[in-house]
């Protein structure tokens, strides 16, 4: 007997009663084990990198800065970490080659994947726009910054409402029947595998619409913002900061869009591009790995951008405000009032001076 997949069983009704059981687990190949290892490396890098940068932002009080750049960077780290949570499901599915979890797990997995495809590119656009506005210290730009941030929050809400929620709601498990062939037209054993699919993406949010919303529009906006940020008139003080911020944002954009646009090609194009992949792997294994690879890499230039912007904010402040914002701890000096206190057991007596600006030092 040979174990083969029969498409006729999935397209027509079987004319006799049967009981379908889960397929037997086979020994993973070396390529499947290597792919699972890559998923595990991406999960570790993404979680450790993004969560550590988020904690660093909280510890160093960068989120208290007057601009909104650090806040959008924090949102970027949160979404990146959330996307990586879909990796464990992909590791198991890569090893056993079918969905072994329930429908709720399918919805959670599709939520992590869709958030990364839809929300992350517009966070990058928001970082471009907010950075270009924040570099200009005028009061008018400060007012525009709050208004622009509110606009992007509304855009994120609309993306969640009209794309992500329908995707999560329509995510379902589709059974696929396999059989062991015997002589004749009967089947001795029926195996039933489940796969996590999104009918909303196949019927409404098609690949063409998704390519336009998730890739083309945000990519064009990023290119326009990068050119304007590069060619905008700048003073000598902001020249280096603008070029550095543009450099970090370009790296984030290149990594994200170079790993995301493959998903929207037609099946025939994907088969033609990834024809070199040996069996039992196929193009879907590579496409499922790319988003996690992006999340495991983009946090690094984003962390450099966060640190550089924190230094830029500190240098842009007046000396008085910079001094008061960073001097959060004081040390009380213990000084004897006279040299007689140091004589004959003077070390056992301590004299505390009043805690004022003359008797404290900042650390």
For 37-43, the CB contacts below 8 A with 24+ separation are 38/289, 38/293, 39/87, 39/90, 39/91, 39/94, 39/289, 39/292, 40/87, 40/91, 41/296, 42/84, 42/87, 42/289, 42/292, 42/293, 42/295, 42/296, 43/84, 43/87, 43/88, 43/292, 43/296
In CATH terms, the fold of domain 3-325 is Rhopdopsin 7-helix transmembrane proteins (1.20.1070)
d(CA 296, CA 86): 13
The tokens for 135 are 């570099």
d(CA 216, CA 239): 29
d(CA 65, CA 62): 6
Question: In a structure prediction context, what are the per-residue pLDDT tens digits for the chain, which is 363 residues long?
Answer: 333 444 444 545 555 555 666 666 677 888 889 999 999 999 999 999 999 999 999 998 888 877 789 999 999 999 999 999 999 989 988 888 888 888 898 999 999 999 999 999 999 999 999 988 887 655 455 667 888 999 999 999 999 999 999 988 888 888 777 665 555 555 556 677 778 888 776 677 888 889 999 999 999 999 999 998 888 766 555 566 788 889 999 999 999 999 999 999 888 888 888 888 887 788 888 899 999 999 999 999 999 999 998 888 777 765 444 444 444 444 444 445 554 544 555 544 444 444 444 444 443
d(CA 91, CA 108): 15
Angle value at C-alpha 260, between 100 and 220, nearest 5 degrees:
150
d(CA 158, CA 30): 43
The tokens for 76 are 């970027």
Q: Where are the domains of the chain?
A: 3-325, 329-362
* Cα first-last separation, the chain: 77
């Amino acid at each position: 007997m040979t174990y083969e997949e029969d498409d006729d069983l999935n397209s027509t009704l079987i004319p006799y009663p049967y009981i379908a059981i889960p397929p037997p687990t086979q020994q993973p190949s070396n390529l499947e084990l290597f792919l699972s290892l890559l998923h595990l490396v991406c999960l570790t890098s993404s979680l450790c990198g993004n969560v550590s940068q988020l904690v660093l932002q909280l510890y160093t009080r960068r989120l208290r800065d007057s601009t909104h750049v650090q806040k959008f960077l924090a949102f970027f780290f949160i979404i990146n970490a959330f996307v990586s949570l879909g990796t464990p499901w992909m590791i198991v599915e890569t090893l056993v080659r079918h969905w072994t979890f329930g429908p709720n797990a399918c919805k959670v997995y599709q939520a992590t994947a869709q958030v990364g495809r839809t929300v992350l590119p517009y966070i990058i656009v928001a970082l471009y726009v907010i950075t270009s506005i924040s570099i200009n210290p005028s009061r008018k730009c400060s007012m525009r910054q709050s208004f622009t941030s509110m606009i992007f929050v509304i855009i994120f809400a609309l993306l969640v409402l009209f794309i992500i929620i329908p995707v999560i709601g329509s995510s379902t498990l589709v059974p696929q029947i396999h059989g062991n062939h015997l002589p004749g037209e009967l089947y001795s054993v029926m195996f039933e595998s489940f796969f996590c699919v999104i009918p909303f993406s196949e019927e409404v949010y098609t690949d063409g619409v998704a390519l336009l919303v998730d890739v083309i529009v945000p990519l064009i906006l990023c290119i326009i913002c990068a050119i304007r940020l590069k060619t905008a008139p700048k003073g000598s003080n902001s020249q280096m900061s603008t070029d550095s911020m543009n450099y970090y944002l370009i790296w984030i954009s290149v990594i994200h869009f170079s790993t995301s646009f493959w998903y929207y090609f037609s099946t025939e194009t994907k088969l033609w591009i990834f024809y070199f992949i040996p069996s039992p792997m196929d193009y879907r294994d590579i496409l499922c790995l790319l988003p996690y690879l992006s999340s495991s890499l983009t946090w690094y230039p984003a962390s450099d951008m966060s640190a550089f912007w924190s230094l830029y904010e500190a240098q842009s402040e007046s000396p008085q405000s910079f001094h008061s914002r960073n001097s959060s701890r004081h040390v009380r000096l213990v000084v004897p009032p006279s040299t007689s206190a140091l004589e004959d057991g003077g070390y056992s007596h301590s004299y505390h001076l009043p805690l004022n600006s003359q008797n404290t030092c900042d650390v």
